[in-house]
Structure 1
Amino acid sequence: MKQFFISAVALCYFLTQVSMAWGDDTVPVSFCSDIAPILLDSCLACHGPKKAEGGYRVDTYDELRKAGDSGELPIAASPDQVSELLRRMTCDDESERMPAESEPLAPKQIELMKKWIAAGGKFDGESSGQSLALVIPPVRYADPPEVYSQVIPITATIFSPDGKLIVTGGYHELVVWSTEDAKLVRRIQNVGQRVLGLAFSSDGQTLAVGCGEPGRSGEVRLVDFNSGEIKGVVARTNDVVLDIAFRPGTDELAIASADSTIRIVNVETLQEIRTIASHADWVTAVTWSDDGTRLVSASRDKSAKVYDGATGELLSSYLGHAAAVRGISILADNKQVVSVGADNKLHRWNVEGAMKVAEVGVGGEGYKLLRRGTNLFLPCADHRLLRIDLATNKIVQEYKGHSDWVLSACYQRTTAGVDNGHYIASGSFDGEVCIWNIADAAIVRKWIAKP
């Protein structure tokens, strides 16, 4: 079964890069830049917090220095002592050599480990208790291919504030298209491998990009939309960012991650305000109430939750879904929430008491919801984009034209770029983007968003 965020091209293009401070003995070896990437790539799978073979962990610098079940020191205190970590990496006995059941480390990697240990095995980051993914400095990602050999699933899309452009996620880049003729306008590079969330700041100058590599890393990159430059990197984590949302009228950004947390970050100061750890599995979607006083979230743990927007206090938890919840929105009165997911149903429920008041069958797995007034737009795995009237809880329009799962949708708030009117765009698993006239569900533009 297809996973909504997986693309074959990502697997084809994937290339792990390790920084090598190599060849000049006067250059110190950095734990954060040189050693942590080696451990992350080659050791963490067997020696992490969830699986610690031999009782030994390498997921943080602090854990790396602790002895495992053997009692041997991983990093020797003096040069005349044996460092068990290095011995295991260099020994000829395959039953002892690490990484187990894999090719030995490359000679350059071994040399880096030797130089680092010989220099005292020191930590050069901000916090020795941080995970490997977080101590590694933000990378400058390699440029994507000039021409894609395969399509990229459109898991995130957004109109520019003036409505003249539409931005879609690519492979380590954002791809910007003209809404007038669907032509490629420009490419914004140096973002995470997969883009799953896009949000403009209230002034339209900053585009927040929720991205990452599933099971390995996640972050939000803040892009100056006019120049395409990366202004900052926030909310770095060890798993992919799945959704983001700006709190109305503020610089606060809610960030939903596959590490089961929600982070609230100020995008101007780059400071984290709080972390909410209320879910037991991936947080798949987040959004704010119209007035910013409430925050709601959806999760793969089959729950949907409501929080106080100012404090992060949990106010309500809805457990009525029978499967993963993928999309969520809170209504204008802040009294009711709608959520959708893998049970193929839209649930409407009260914040107070978390009791269901209505249910709408939608025909397929639903994804991130988009609400405008009493109109709710729902991307669906049965190849349709649906418009639901929240006044009647009925599907009032079907936008048909995609031939694969519809994964994302965005609304055009101005009349520039396309003919006058109100429009919605949708993106699908097969890389197709459609711009629709909301009133009559007619397709205005349609193209494969592949450079």
Structure 2
Amino acid sequence: MSEFREAQKIRNSTIVTSVAFTNNVAEIACGNYDNTVKIWNVGTGQLIDTLKGRPSWVNYAIINNNRTLIASGYESKKVNIWSATTGRIVYKLKGHSLTATSVTFSCDGMQIASGSHDKTVNIYNSETGKVVHTLEGHSNVVTCVVFSIDGTRIASGSQDKKCKIWNVLTGREENTLKGHFREVQSVAFSKDGTRLVSGSADENARIWNTMTGEAICILQGHLAPVSSVAFNHDGRRVVSGSHDNTVKIWNAETAKILQTLEGHTFYVNSVAFNHNGTQIISGSSDWTIRIWEDSKTLARITLNNVEMVMYGMAGKYNANFNEVGIHVKIAEFFYPEYQDLFDEYVKNYYKQYVL
């Protein structure tokens, strides 16, 4: 596995509570404590849009995949659902008897789930805002909820130290996952839904078999609560964020730490992989979002940037053999560790001229 390096640091205007890649792979969305969701360009780090709700201090704010609806809330039984276009409240999700703690959209955007201090999970129709199912079974506050990729199941984590798997269609509990000895703070399905990873205040993450409920392995290495976890696209890697201010990448089969990403100066609240596992984003209480990139991908981007600068100086874009050769030699001088990649680039570039 090639290493990840920090490719971009984005300075936000407040604490970042959640981060996610949007359906447009060149964009990321972050939820903030000031009741905004901001959209950023991954490559440049430039702010694209700020979606504002009613001014208030919130503990979560997320956006659905097609950037039409935002869910947010703070110290309330209700979850506000508002239009990302107009900034107006579309409806309020009702049904909890105590404060809602977390909310998530299904991947297709058709359903919403929320967890609460009342120990339940509610599933809502996203078009009507009506409760479809109330899931009862936890014995303490539900701290986190997530849909499986196909939308057929929900996982929930709780202060009762357990995770539960639920059937979305029937509302029935399918499995209870026991093993953490402090509250569960984050849960995430693998793409195929066969595994769940959970992060806990016990400073560990665990990977579970969702069918049997058995723990496959324990990810040990953080020095503070694990606040966020996620699988990569093929399920071979897990990324975790912690209150020890670090991000860790794990081998999901051996439970070994592959890399520790350092740079945040306060709690890491949220982490995510992009669609093909070449980028990681992390959001923190230090008011920053950091984009970490696979070094091979970063090398290609660096090479492209060098070429664009050189072409710009020459006042032209198209290059002949000698010009490309010069650019690559310059890149190799500054980045000798990527020489093999540069050589590969040159070979691929000139294939178009070979009959």
Same fold? TM cut 0.5: yes
1:423 aligned to 241, 264, 279, which one? 279
Matched letter for residue 170 of structure 1: Y
The 5 A counterparts of 1:359-374 are 359-363=218-222, 364-373=224-233, 374=235
Matched letter for residue 371 of structure 1: F
* Structure 1 position 299 matched with structure 2 position 147: no
Q: How big is the shift at 1:388?
A: 2.0
| Partner residue in 2 for 1:166 | 29
Q: How big is the shift at 1:236?
A: 5.9
Report the TM-score, using the length of structure 2 for normalisation. Answer: 0.70
Residues 255 and 438 (structure 1), Cα distance of their counterparts in 2 relative to 1, 3 Å cut:
farther
Question: Percent of counterpart pairs with the same letter?
Answer: 22
Q: What CA distance in whole angstroms lies between the structure 1 residues aligned with 2:21 and 2:107?
A: 17
Contact 2:19 2:28 in 1 (8 A): no
Q: How big is the shift at 1:200?
A: 1.0
Contact 2:37 2:62 in 1 (8 A): no
Report the TM-score, using the length of structure 1 for normalisation. Answer: 0.56
* Structure 1 position 315 matched with structure 2 position 167: no
Q: What CA distance in whole angstroms lies between the structure 1 residues aligned with 2:126 and 2:295?
A: 36
Question: Which of 1 and 2 has higher RCO (CA within 8 Å, sep 6+)?
Answer: 2
Matched letter for residue 385 of structure 1: V
Contact 1:247 1:253 in 2 (8 A): yes
Please tell me whether Structure 1 or Structure 2 has the larger radius of gyration of its CA atoms: 1
| Partner residue in 1 for 2:271 | 409
1:212-235 CA deviation, whole Å, 9 max, x = no partner? 12xxx1433223323333322213
* Structure 1 position 196 matched with structure 2 position 48: no
Q: How big is the shift at 1:157?
A: 2.7
Contact 1:254 1:286 in 2 (8 A): yes
1:247 aligned to 106, 110, 116, which one? 106
Contact 1:199 1:244 in 2 (8 A): no
Matched letter for residue 64 of structure 2: F
* Structure 1 position 390 matched with structure 2 position 249: no
2:196 aligned to 309, 331, 337, which one? 337
1:268 aligned to 103, 127, 133, which one? 127
1:380 aligned to 242, 251, 271, which one? 242
The 5 A counterparts of 1:24-35 are none
1:376-418 CA deviation, whole Å, 9 max, x = no partner? 221111111122232333222322110111011244449xxxx
Q: What CA distance in whole angstroms lies between the structure 2 residues aligned with 1:333 and 1:306?
A: 15
Aligned residue pair count: 283
Moved more, 154-163 or 355-364: 154-163
Question: What RMSD in Å do the two structures reach over aligned CA positions?
Answer: 2.9
Q: How big is the shift at 1:342?
A: 1.1
| Structure 2 gaps, min length 5 | 1-11, 302-355
| Partner residue in 1 for 2:312 | none
2:70 aligned to 208, 212, 217, which one? 208
Contact 2:278 2:293 in 1 (8 A): yes
Q: How big is the shift at 1:300?
A: 1.0
Residues 335 and 229 (structure 1), Cα distance of their counterparts in 2 relative to 1, 3 Å cut:
same
Residues 358 and 301 (structure 1), Cα distance of their counterparts in 2 relative to 1, 3 Å cut:
same
1:184-237 CA deviation, whole Å, 9 max, x = no partner? 743512165314241414xx0423323212xxx143322332333332221364
